[in-house]
Chains A and B, each alone.
Chain A
Amino acid sequence: MEFPAALFPSFFGAGPPREEGGPAPVAGWGEHGQVLEGGPGLRQAQPAFVPRRGATGERWEAADAAAVPVLLPSAGCWIPSPAPQDILYRTGVCKKLRAGKSGATLDFARQLGHFFVDHPEDAFGSLGQLLHKNFYLGNSKLKRPARNSTIRMTALVEDIDRLEARRGCPRQHLASRLRWFSHLCRDWLFEVPLGLLADCLHEELMHQWSNLLFDDSLTGGALAWLPPKDGGTSVGHLVHPGGQAMNHLYFQDVVLEELPRARGSPAHFELSGRVRQVAAARVDGEDFVGVRSDYHCGVWRVPGRTGAAPAPLQVIHTDVPASCLTVSPHLPGELSVCTQSGTVYLWSVETGLQQLRHDPQTMFFRDHSPWRWSDFTAHPRVLSCADRTGLQCLDARAPKKCHFDLFKVGEEAGCQQGERVVLPMYLGRAHPSQYLVTTQFSVYVLDERLPLVPILKWAHMMKAPPLFAHLMPGNPGRSHQVLLGASCTQELLLLQYRASFWGVSSGGSQSACQLAGTPQKLHSIAGCLQHLPTQLPHRQHLLQQRLAAPAAGLAATLQEDGLHKSMLVFQLSEAGDVFCQRLTHKAAQSPAPPSRDEATTAPGSSPLFEAPASSPQGLAAALRYRRWLRALSRACRESPQHTWHPSLSQRRLFTRRDLEGPTGPSSLQRQMRQRLRQAMQEGGRIQHWEPLAVQPPPLPQILEPAGGPDPLSTRLTAAWAGDWEQWWEERTSFSVAQRQKALRERRRRQKRARGRRSLSASFTSSLTYQSELSELSDAGLPLLSPGRPPILSQEGSPPAGSPAVRSPPTSPAPDEALLSSQSLRCRGIPKERRKTLRDYLSVWAEGPPEPPEPPGSQASQLCIPSSQSQLSSASQPRRKRPRMGF
């Protein structure tokens, strides 16, 4: 490839970046940057100039209003990664603290508390068993002989409760009893020494928090598209991770039609860690796929013959998490690997690993990030290696001696202060010596023949740093397409750049690189939510959470049949969903018609579902969505929620006294209890979470006060009848007794509401989200099947003979009232048992446990030796809320 005969003018400085500022929201607009004389030349009357930015590019238009799912959601529900509210303090005091310069306040105590509650065996196992007899959790007085060796814990528990209630209060004092107890047993009670445990937890919390701020382990993306082979078929492979812990690797055949369609069942491999990155390159007609998880990297070969199964070639294990894996586009079976300790390896399947560099320090200035990256260059023996401060190229034959700086965060490239390298990528398929470097602010194109000076720079204005990039090389003379993708905001940006604008007519000289057309935003996965039919609120929430999961990968392909050219863009989310969108190419010169999407993307309209019949493709997309939604709700409902069998004795759980209220239960409670007993005897469910029957339930009647119609109605009635004055008289002399009664009523209601609030607060710590998940079933399904246990929910018809239970929609459901901490406490059930009771009830609410999952498909192979097998999936069988590392 020839070097451009003239480059765009630019200043060149050395040293640290001088330009201040941070993310500028519009920095990429309205600038040509520089111009260069690049027309037919001086022979004509006037020179023609071309701009560095702002030249006309190709027109790509979205074919659909939203991205469409390619694959059905895999069985088993997705475990969302922790959100900021899971690990930060939520109280007002700490918000104020956070607003200051002190940074985020991690809720350390809560996480430690979670650990003690969720894993009591691991936390207190041996001593708990030893002291079991000496702790008494009941409410009654201790008898004489027992009192010598047993202590009553109830008071202590009450103290803890009180402390809980005052959490966040700046003037809280420890109860002396608690202090005494903790002094007494801090050193010996815990299975793991408390200091050590706290250190580990804090470290993990800090790690999780920094991952929340910016997770660079996903750099490069975990989705790869292996285009159809030369044969001309339209079947490519999509390589993507899946499963609850994203530790399964799938090679899925995909037929490229109007909407890409999965064909057959995928080749499937089970790996021993979460797949972070999938990289692929085609050498000599064969695809090589590199897969990176934290401590293992593997390489697969997908032979050129159609229908041949992918074969695993080799696996390496690293002591430090690997941060990069790239596949050589030049030589078969060569990869480059970087680890967080600052080591770069050239990995050849035939000859093994060759260490090229080991340097825990960053290259150009000090930066704390252990992230490293490496990629190939135009020379098969020269590798680039990168950290946050820049890129260097090393010769693998003499890595110590032969190297040069390719990119430096500094004045050389006109960087800003605080700018850091996010993702470097070799653009070899478009131009053998060009390189793409993205930072959180800008995107640079570099030519290794002119190091340090970017031949193209543009502020991309993305809200999150672009962690994924994909190149689609254009034909000679055409523009190349680059897609940039961010993780947490799911942004997708399409850029076009051109390496030659001169044309062959004037001697075929290569010319300087220029950005063509304007950048274009593509649909994100979450963007389809507004087009979906409205769901029940909890379902909507779940769907929203699922669709807004951070993006985890990006792949794309150009498809050309005759005159029609289109681009298919695949996006992978952390939940394992793969969505796809098609862009169609429009001739650049065609006058811009009134943009279709200007009308369709207006908020509120959803062409995807409102008028699907208007176009066959829209119909197909709508059908695809419907199937996906159904599969999603089925997957979430049917996922095996428990791998353990409940082994609770029903008899010893509560004594009669425990369950007896202090003043005797109300009729409602009695009734509830009766049903509870009945359900326990039958071993059935207390409540089932099916959605409403086909016909909507009758509107709940508004509870009216005993006194008759409300004041407004009486007043209106009186006014109508003409004796309004008399009504006013009565009104003003409204008896004091009545007013008191009303006041009492109100207070009671408030109290109840407060009780409910405390329940919802306790949800985050110990209750499962079972109810919400099980409710995500199809609304259209018939409700009752003959084998169902009696229904105890308010929607169902009450069993014959018992009075109708109907409560206003604002009041808690009866069993919730039964479960609330308050009502349990007032029955004297100590806190530990309250939780057990709740868990117990929730177990029976969900029905008998599912049979164990059938063994994996025939194609599945255990490839990577399972040293720390599926930690995340196995240790969290039940909870939907993520917890720190436990």
Chain B
Amino acid sequence: SSHEHKLNFRKSKEACLSYIQDALLQKQWKRAAEFLTCYVESLEKDYSREHVGPSEIIWRIGTEILWHHSQSSMKEFNCFMEQMKTLGVKRYLKVCLEHVFHLLCNGQIDEAYQNLSLAESWRFGEQTAIQDKEMKLIEAYRGLLDYYSWSKQKNILVEHSEDGFSDLAVEQEMHSYFRKAAVNLKEIIKIPGVWDVFVKCYVDLLEFYGDHSEACQVLNEYAYNSKFPANPNAHVYLYQFLKRQGESKKSLISALKILHDIVPSHELMIDFNTMLQKSKKRKKRRLGLEVIFAALDYAGWKENAKAWSCLARQMKQIVISEKHLDWIKQEWNSRKDWWPAFHFSRYLAKRNWQENKSLSYEKALVAGILLGKDCKYFKYVSHHGCKAQLKRFRMLKKFVNRHNPVYLRISG
């Protein structure tokens, strides 16, 4: 009966699919391709009402095989993609986008641009939410490619102007690229998302044409709009923009302060700390100590010699001046139960000494101040440093011994 037929058909279809899957997962591309040619038959009698229909399956598997098959060529891939585009209306934009991605990764920028333009002009009835997003992405990527063309023209123009003559045609072409790019890029960065590349390009365009207020607004929106995810890069871009614009220290510090609140382990924290240490205000210097302590809490900073030297420098200053020892005390309070095992164990002393002498020097100074001269880390490093006749380690030992009472005040 027809029901039975359908059932059998479905069964053999599933079996075929599982064979393909098996071959793909073992990188047997030829075997998978052979099975896929059989699976294509399932398109003819597509009774399924499943979430993922056979046409999507064929698109996905076929693409994967063509990526890896030793005998496939770009021409074949393009041909396959064109066929897949006609196979399902709902997936048209998705397939276009993936096709463009593949062209871009293979350096075929012009073909990618053509495909994007074609996809942009595609209309089919009411669009679903997903299709809407895909269309936005297509426009954005076209904007991005327009930006790259603009950038190319700009470089030509810069070269020409160095040679001392101007090219009006190139300039006009460049402006038209600017307009096309700006329209599309502006659209996508309004929607909540992660748009690092698009934002960077758009800001670059605006800066070139001198629209700094718009650029500033875009970056502020990207960083502070609560609908957007807390993307550290948004704050980094804003900070870099402010720095380029030569803004005041105060606004730079406030931008970095927010970055510190979101990501205390960001690599810009070293810049932030140096900036704060130089400040005349007590409050800022206090913040600087906080920032560097917080950064060194993270496992990724454990062996960052730069950060340790920042901390060592600031602590040395405080100890010598004997002012604000309470700052160190406060920072140390929440760390004294785990920093010794985390940073200042004997094992680490040995390893740091073997691998990075200057790191062990900075750490030993900090350890000596925080834990006194009997601390394992300090003892190991200063002992080995003195044995190796290194002058600065002898100085270090002297310094810590002289200031040992500080340790009592901090820990007490």
Interfacial chain A residues near B98, Cβ < 8 Å = 30-32
CB-defined contacts of B347 to chain A, threshold 8 Å: 284-285
| Contact A432:B300 (CB < 8 A) given known A12-B193, A27-B60, A450-B231 | yes
In the complex, A521 Cα to B198 Cα: how many Å? 37
A700 to B60, CA, bound (A): 57
Report A23-41 CB contacts with B as 1/0, cut-off 8 Å: 0111101111111110000
B377 touches A (CB below 8 Å): no
Contact A521 B229 (CB under 8 A): no
Q: CA–CA, A589 to B349, complex, Å?
A: 41
The answer to whether A3 touches B297, judged by C-beta atoms less than 8 angstroms apart, is no
Using CB atoms, name the residue of chain B closest to A18. B129
Contact pattern, A 115-140, Cβ under 8 Å of B = 1, otherwise 0? 00000000000000000000000000
The answer to whether A521 and B101 have CB atoms under 8 Å apart is no
Do A378 and B198 have beta carbons less than 8 Å apart? no
Contact between chains at B298 and A32 (CB < 8 Å): no
Select one of B21, B31, B231 contacting A26, CB under 8 A: B21
Interface residues of B in 332-363 (CB under 8 A from A): 334, 338, 341-342, 345, 347-348
**Does A30 lie within 8 Å of B51, measured CB to CB?**
no
Would A54 and B229 be within 8 Å (CB), given that A32-B98, A42-B148, A379-B299 are in contact?
Answer: no
Q: Within the complex, what minimum Cβ distance (angstroms) separates B368 from chain A?
A: 20
Q: How far is A466 from B354 in the complex, measured between Cα atoms in Å?
A: 41
Contact of A3 among B267, B341, B342 (CB under 8 A): B267
Q: How far is the CB of B352 from chain A (nearest CB, A)?
A: 12
Chain A hits for B104, CB < 8 A: 35, 49
Bitwise, B246-265 to A at CB < 8 A (1) or not (0) is 00000000000000001101
B60 x A449 contact (CB < 8 A) = no
Contact present for B265 and A27 (CB under 8 Å): no
In whole angstroms, how far apart are the Cα atoms of A595 and B101 in the complex? 28
Is B68 an interface residue when CB atoms closer than 8 A count as contact?
A: yes
Interchain CB contact under 8 A, A597 and B28: yes
Q: Is B384 an interface residue (CB 8 A)?
A: no
Contact pattern, B 59-79, Cβ under 8 Å of A = 1, otherwise 0: 111111001101000000000
- Whether B62 contacts A3 by the Cβ 8 Å rule is no
CA gap between A701 and B98 in the complex, in Å: 70
A330: contacting residue among B102, B227, B232, B299, CB under 8 A: B299
**Which of B25, B31, B338 is A331 in contact with, Cβ under 8 Å?**
B338
Does chain A have a CB within 8 A of B168?
no
Q: Is B229 a contact of A9 with CB atoms below 8 Å?
A: no
**B35 proximal to A (CB < 8 A):** no
- Among A5, A21, A34, the residue within 8 A (CB) of B51 is A21
Q: Chain B contacts of A9 at CB under 8 A? A: 137, 140, 188, 193-198
Q: How far is the CB of A9 from chain B (nearest CB, A)?
A: 6
Q: Is the CB of B52 within 8 A of A380?
A: no
Give, as a whole number of angstroms, the nearest-CB distance from B255 to chain A. Answer: 15
Which residues on the B side are within 8 Å of A431 (C-beta)? 300
Query: Shortest Cβ distance from B276 into chain A, in angstroms?
Result: 20
A520 contacts B21, C-beta separation under 8 Å: no
Q: Which residues of B contact A33 (CB under 8 A)?
A: 101
A197 on the B face (CB < 8 A):
no
Checking A12, A30, A51, A380 against B62 with a beta-carbon cut-off of 8 angstroms, the contacting residue is A30
Check if A366 is an interface residue, CB within 8 A of chain B.
Answer: no
Q: Given the known A-B contacts A13-B192, A381-B297, A461-B21, are A26 and B70 also in contact in the complex, defined by CB atoms under 8 Å?
A: no
Q: State whether A331 touches B342 (Cβ < 8 A).
A: yes
- Determine if A853 is an interface residue (Cβ-Cβ < 8 Å): no
User: B164 at the A/B interface (Cβ < 8 Å)?
Assistant: no
Q: Are B197 and A36 in contact (CB under 8 A)?
A: yes
Q: A30 to B61, Cβ gap below 8 A?
A: yes
Contact A433 B233 (CB under 8 A): no
Beyond A27-B52, A450-B231, A520-B27, is A50–B105 a contact (Cβ under 8 Å)? yes
- Nearest to A510 among chain B residues (CB) is B267
Interface assignment of A7: CB less than 8 Å from any CB of chain B: yes
Say whether A519 contacts B25, CB under 8 Å.
yes
Whether the Cβ atoms of B105 and A450 lie closer than 8 Å is no
* Known A12-B193, A12-B229, A432-B300: A29·B64 in contact at CB below 8 Å: yes
Q: CB of A804 within 8 A of chain B?
A: no
B105 and A54 contacting across the interface, CB-CB below 8 Å: yes
Q: A447: shortest Cβ distance to chain B, in Å?
A: 9
Question: Do B60 and A29 have beta carbons less than 8 Å apart?
Answer: yes
| Given A32-B102, A518-B68, CB of A380 within 8 Å of CB of B299 | yes
Q: In the complex, A604 Cα to B64 Cα: how many Å?
A: 28
Which of B21, B129, B196, B236 is the one whose CB lies under 8 Å from A25? B21
- B30 CB-CB contact with A under 8 Å: yes
Indicate the member of B31, B191, B194 with the most A CB atoms within 10 Å.
B194
Among A21, A25, A381, A450, which residue has its beta carbon within 8 angstroms of that of B338? A381
Residue B275 lies at the interface, judged by CB distance under 8 Å to chain A:
no
Q: Which of B63, B188, B228 contacts A12 (CB 8 A)?
A: B228
Query: Does A598 sit at the interface, judged by CB under 8 A?
Result: yes
Distance of A46 Cα from B151 Cα, bound (Å) = 10
**Bound CA–CA A332/B133 (angstroms):** 48
Determine whether the beta carbon of A451 is less than 8 Å from that of B64: no
Give the CA-CA distance A49 to B107 in the complex, in Å.
7
- Report whether A6 and B300 are in contact in the complex, using a CB–CB cutoff of 8 Å: no
| B22 part of interface (Cβ distance < 8 Å) | yes
Q: Bound state CA distance, A317 and B299, in angstroms?
A: 31
CA separation between A277 and B135, bound complex, in Å?
A: 47
Query: Per-residue 0/1 for B31-44: is the Cβ within 8 Å of any A Cβ (1 yes, 0 no)?
Result: 10000000000000
Q: B residues within 8 A CB of A48?
A: 107
Most chain A beta-carbon contacts within 10 A, residue among B144, B188, B299, B300:
B299
In the bound complex, what is the Cα–Cα distance between A453 and B230 (angstroms)? Answer: 9
Closest CB-CB distance, B269 to chain A, in whole Å?
11
**Which residues of chain A have C-beta atoms less than 8 A from B345's C-beta?**
284, 332
Distance A380 CA – B133 CA, assembled complex (angstroms): 40
Which residues of chain B have C-beta atoms less than 8 A from A734's C-beta? none
A592 within 8 A of B: yes
Cα distance A330–B17 in the bound complex, in angstroms: 46
Q: Which of A31, A34, A412, A598 contacts B28 (CB 8 A)?
A: A598
Cβ of A595 and Cβ of B27 under 8 Å apart?
Answer: yes
Whether A29 contacts B193 by the Cβ 8 Å rule is no
A450-B232 contact given A54-B105, A381-B338, CB 8 Å threshold: yes
Instruction: Collect the chain A residues with CB atoms within 8 Å of residue B21's CB.
Output: 25-26, 461
**Which residues on A sit within 8 Å (CB–CB) of B27?**
518, 520, 595
Q: Ordered nearest first, which 10 A-B pairs have the shortest CB separation?
A: A30-B63, A30-B60, A432-B300, A521-B25, A21-B51, A284-B347, A32-B101, A6-B196, A49-B104, A29-B64
19 contacts between A and B (CB under 8 A): A7-B194, A11-B191, A12-B228, A18-B129, A20-B51, A25-B17, A25-B21, A26-B21, A31-B98, A32-B105, A37-B144, A284-B347, A330-B299, A412-B229, A450-B231, A451-B229, A451-B230, A518-B68, A597-B26
| 14 other A-B residue contacts (CB within 8 Å) besides A3-B233, A521-B25 | A3-B266, A7-B231, A9-B140, A13-B192, A14-B227, A27-B60, A29-B64, A30-B63, A32-B101, A47-B148, A332-B341, A381-B297, A450-B229, A451-B229
A contact residues vs B (CB 8 Å cutoff): 1-14, 18, 20-22, 24-27, 29-37, 42, 45-51, 54, 284-285, 329-332, 378-381, 397, 412, 428, 431-433, 449-453, 461, 493, 518-521, 591-592, 595, 597-598, 601
